[in-house]
Each structure stands twice: as C-alpha cells, then as structure tokens.
Amino acid sequence: MGSCFYRVLLLAGFCAPIFCMWASNPRNRESPQPPSTKGNPAFQVSPSNTKFAFFLYQRLAQESPGQNVLFSPVSISTSLAMLSLGARSATKTQILRSLGFNLTHVPESTIHLGFEQLVRSLNVCHKDRDLRTGSVLFIRKELQLQATFLDRAKRLYGTKVFSEDFSNTVTAQARINSYVEKETRGKVVDVIQELDSQTAMVLVNHIFFKANWTQPFSTANTNKSFPFLLSKGGTVRVPMMHQTELFAFGVDRELGCIVLQMDYRGDAVAFFVLPGKGRGKMWQLEKSLSARRLRKWSLSLQKRWIKVFIPKFSISASYNLETILPKMGIRDAFNANADFSGITKTHFLQVSKAAHKAVLDVSEEGTEAAAATTTKLIVRSRDNPSSIISFNQPFLILLLEKSTKSILFLGKVENPQKM
C-alpha cells in the first residue's frame, strides 16, 4: 500500500426528513395488510437492523439526556453495510457484527443480498406515498478505486459515483450540500459544515418520506396552546391535534406504557409509545426496547374507539456518529488500524467523520411513533366507549415500513418546541 493517508467522511443516513400530508379523502379507513415477506431477502436482514436500531437509540439517549432523539436506523445501517463492501479483516468484522449479524450463521453475501432487496423494496413506486432512499459516493479525483468495490456498490446499493476535487474544500462542500438539499426536497441544508483537505471520499445515504394518514386530523380541532409537561419540570405550550377514531391500541402492563398505532396510506405505520407517569418510567421503557418487544406489541394491539391528543411539532437532530459507533464495536474504521483495502490499494483510508442529521415534521397532515415489548398487551375494557390518550409528556416515536419490517425513523419527543 502507498504512503498517502486520506480520510473518509461518512454521512451515514443523515437525511431523514418526514413531511406528512393531510389525506384529502379519508376513505379506506382500514389499513392494508402487509404483503407476504416469505422468501424476501430484505426481510432476512430486518431482525438485525431492528436490533441495531434499538442499540443505537439507547446510546444516543444516554449521550443526550432530556433532549429530543431522532434518526433513521435503516439509513445508517445501509451506509455501514455499503462501507463494509470495501473493508477487510477486523474492520469488516466489526462493522457487520455491530450491525447485529452473526457471521458464523449468516454469510456476508446473504447480508448484501438482503440490503440489495431492501433498497429496491423501499424505492418501489407507490401511489399513496413518496419513499425514496439512495446512496452516493463523492470520490477524490486522483483516488484509484477497486473496480470490484465500485461494481458491487452500484449493483447492490444503487450507489451513484461522482468525482470530486477535495483540494477545493469550499466548492466540494457546497456541491455535496446542494446534492443533499435537492434529494431531501430542501428539508436538510448545510449538513456539512467543514471538509478536511485530506478527505478522500464522502459516502452519503439519504432517505425521504412523504405520506398521507388514513385517518387525518382536522385543523379546525387543533388546540393552539396546550400544556406539554417536560421531563425536567415545567411546561411548554404547543399546538395539540386531536380526533376520535378507531385505532389499534394496547397497554403494556409490565412497563406501564400505552401503545398507539396510526396508519399511513401506502404500507407504512406509526407507533406512539407513552411511558407511565413517575420517575424513571421513560428510562425503564427505553432500556426494554427490543425486536421481540416490538413484535409482541405489533401482534397484540386491538382496535378501539380512541380520543387521541398528539402535539403538532417539528424537531431535528444531528449526531457525530464517529464518537458513538466505536462504543458499539466499530472501532478500527475510525483509527489507524482501519483496513479499507477493498476500496483502494494505493492509499490508506480511515473514516474521519460519520454525520447523521434527521428532520421530522408532524402536523394535522401526519405524525410518527415508536415502541417494542416482550410481554403481551392488554386492551382497556370495552365498557368505555371512548378511551382518552393524551401525548402531553415525553413519548417515543417509530415509523415502520410494513413490507420489509424496516424501522425508517426512531426517536423521542422530549420537547415539541425545540428544533
């Protein structure tokens, strides 16, 4: 290998804008059943992606107590899986194991086939939603990349490749930021604040979601100033949407939390999880998140007439994952032990930065929700014709794409007014 040392800037799924539009025709109230996932390779990577999603969430929540949390698990997983194509030795092993894969039982080829099908499935055109993901490489002009890496990145992940002059950092930064802004419909701007002159390659994975509720809120019913209780004490006034409808709903007795499901038109579903009142209830819920708990929730919810109050809000979150991922086992990729000889044999590469930025808009036009559990859910007594659920305190959100069982977005709303 040559003596030159360059850095890779990994913008791992930093674009996660959600902009939910009001369904003009609220017919077809029943949510469609998800298509069969039997034999779908994308479904085979779903359990590992879900495990990684909750593991990363718990890390991010620990790093930012009392703050909003928001990220796109599927976007970050896809970025790291694509990066592993060019990794070798311990660098590759650490990435794939941290993504939740048991390499003694799941061949690497199966993992990439699963992600290939996942990317294709998520990008299938649907009349009721706009869900688009994509990957792009901005590569230093003089960098000689391995043909095998480029071919697999394009074939398996649909990656676009652009040559870039990183010696002119201002121009390169502007070009990448412009690309991101365009792909996210102007929702994510200036994601790169600074480029290192030693940057060799910028890996970008982006995701954009836009859909309609099957049961939209009416703007006429929105309370313009409603008290929302903060976890650290005090309140903020927020616009509070509400409606009475037939929703899937349940109570997790073990955790004392309420789980509410709301459907989007177009094979996507949102979960809202409201922890019980009392000190430590949110943390108890967060540390209990798992793929098994989420699956139990999904299977146990039952439909009831519910009067629901959900705040109207816009939040965003940005993370420097190079400080988080090493704590999750991806160590060598970010230090001098990095082995990305599958990308280029003429230069030493290591990841200098892994940036992630997510943006979430929730209004009468739509919203998201999060949850998971190992215990069975119960449904409140049928003798109450209309239970009332008010999300007027911190809650979890999760957005799930049904056909691939993929978590598109996961987060926590601590303060609906804080961007």
In this structure, is residue 202 part of a structural domain? yes
What was the pLDDT predicted at 126? 79
Q: Do 70 and 140 lie in a common domain?
A: yes
In this structure, is residue 419 part of a structural domain? no
What was the pLDDT predicted at 102? 92
CATH of residue 47: 3.30.497.10
Mark the ranges of the chain whose per-residue pLDDT is less than 50: 1-3, 12-37, 366-385
Report yes or no: 261 and 249 within 8 Å, Cβ to Cβ: yes
CATH of residue 245: 2.30.39.10
What was the pLDDT predicted at 347? 76
In this structure, is residue 324 part of a structural domain? yes
Report yes or no: 17 and 69 within 8 Å, Cβ to Cβ: no
Number of domains in the chain: 2
What was the pLDDT predicted at 418? 84
Q: Do 99 and 222 lie in a common domain?
A: no
Q: Do 399 and 347 lie in a common domain?
A: no
In this structure, is residue 418 part of a structural domain? no
What was the pLDDT predicted at 85? 96
Residue-number span of the structural domain to which 351 is assigned: 5-212+315-361
What was the pLDDT predicted at 11? 63
What was the pLDDT predicted at 16? 37
